[in-house]
């Protein structure tokens, strides 16, 4: 059985004070929740949010939104894997479409980050997804295949127990347009097939694949009802307790 994994990506939102306030609300409301849950505040709030989670023994995981590809050195503006682990981060989001498209991160750079994070014991959420024009020109699967295969190039199967894949079609991010549950399920099935071909049936059956892109309390249940959708990576709706809590507790809606 794959574990359901619901994650909130706070992107470039929340001062430390605002982050603490939201983390406190989530911790209180989600104490009984058995699903795997992660929140990824901005770097500046990681340390303080970790304290909030630790104070109440919360099993909400602390995530980071990015990481540098080198272990240390003269890399102005980058954050290392060691720094993330030091403040209690256990999962890092890599290859997010905003990193790929706004900051031009190529697949080989993302691959270096994925390898480094996994080798140092951080879990990774690797994001893949096509743009609207790629979907309209019928190459969505090729794009996702390239991003995935290049992203995990050179990584042995045994290291991939720490990998979650997030399918986030770029045209559905922050736009209010969600992929239909059927379209998302189809792409997730395609991704599972790629994992089976490159590694094994066992890994393809066990790997968690999240959907991301305008997930809201109103659509999460239908998405999660699909066989190949094992969780959600939530942006906008993770910024408020009143929308993130019902997403996590979609099975009680």
Residues noted as catalytic = 96, 168
CB of residue 8 to ligand 13P, shortest distance in Å: 8
Q: Which is nearer to ligand 13P, 204 or 246 (CB)?
A: 246
CB of residue 93 to ligand 13P, shortest distance in Å: 7
What is the C-alpha to C-alpha distance for residues 201 and 120, in angstroms, rounded to an integer? 26
- The 3-state secondary structure of the chain reads CCCCEEEEECCCCCCHHHHHHHHHHHHHHCCCCCCEEEEECCHHHHHHHHHHHHHCCCCCEEEECCCCCCCCCCCCCCCCHHHHHHCCCCEEEECCHHHHHCCCCCHHHHHHHHHHHHHCCCEEEEEECCCHHHHHCCCHHHHHHHHHHHHCCCCCHHHHHHEEEEECCHHHCCCCCCCCHHHHHHHHHHHHHHHHHHCCHHHHHHCEEEEECCCCCCCHHHHHCCCCCCEEEECHHHCCHHHHHHHHCHHHC
CB of residue 217 to ligand 13P, shortest distance in Å: 12
Q: Which is nearer to ligand 13P, 204 or 215 (CB)?
A: 215
CB of residue 126 to ligand 13P, shortest distance in Å: 12
Residue nearest to ligand 13P (CB): 235
CB of residue 103 to ligand 13P, shortest distance in Å: 14
Residues lying near ligand 13P in the complex (CB under 6 A) are found at 9, 96, 168, 173-174, 212-215, 233-237
**Which residues 6+ apart lie within 8 Å of 133 measured at CB?**
none
Q: Which is nearer to ligand 13P, 204 or 208 (CB)?
A: 208
Q: Which is nearer to ligand 13P, 41 or 235 (CB)?
A: 235
Q: Which is nearer to ligand 13P, 160 or 215 (CB)?
A: 215
């Amino acid at each position: 059985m794959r574990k359901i994994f619901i994650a909130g990506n706070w992107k470039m939102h929340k001062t430390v004070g605002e982050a603490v306030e939201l983390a406190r609300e989530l911790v209180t409301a989600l104490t009984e929740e058995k699903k795997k849950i992660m929140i990824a505040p901005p770097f500046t709030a990681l340390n303080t949010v970790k304290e909030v989670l630790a104070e109440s023994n919360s099993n909400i995981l602390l995530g980071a939104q990015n990481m540098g590809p080198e272990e240390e050195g003269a890399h102005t503006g980058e954050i290392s894997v060691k720094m993330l682990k030091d403040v209690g981060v256990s999962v890092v989001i890599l290859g997010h479409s905003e990193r790929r498209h706004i900051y031009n991160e190529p697949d080989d750079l993302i691959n270096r980050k994925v390898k480094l994070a996994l080798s140092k014991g951080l879990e990774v959420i690797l994001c893949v997804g096509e743009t609207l024009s790629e979907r309209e020109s019928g190459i969505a699967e090729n794009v996702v295949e390239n991003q995935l295969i290049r992203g995990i190039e050179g990584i042995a199967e045994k290291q991939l127990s720490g990998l979650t894949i997030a399918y986030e079609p770029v045209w559905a991010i922050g736009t209010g347009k969600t992929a239909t549950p059927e379209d998302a399920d189809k792409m997730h099935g395609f991704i599972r097939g790629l994992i089976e071909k490159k590694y094994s049936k066992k890994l393809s059956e066990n790997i968690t694949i999240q959907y991301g892109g305008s997930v809201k309390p109103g659509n999460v249940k239908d998405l999660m009802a699909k066989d190949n959708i094992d969780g959600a990576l939530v942006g906008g709706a993770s910024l408020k307790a009143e929308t993130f809590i019902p997403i996590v507790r979609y099975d009680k809606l």
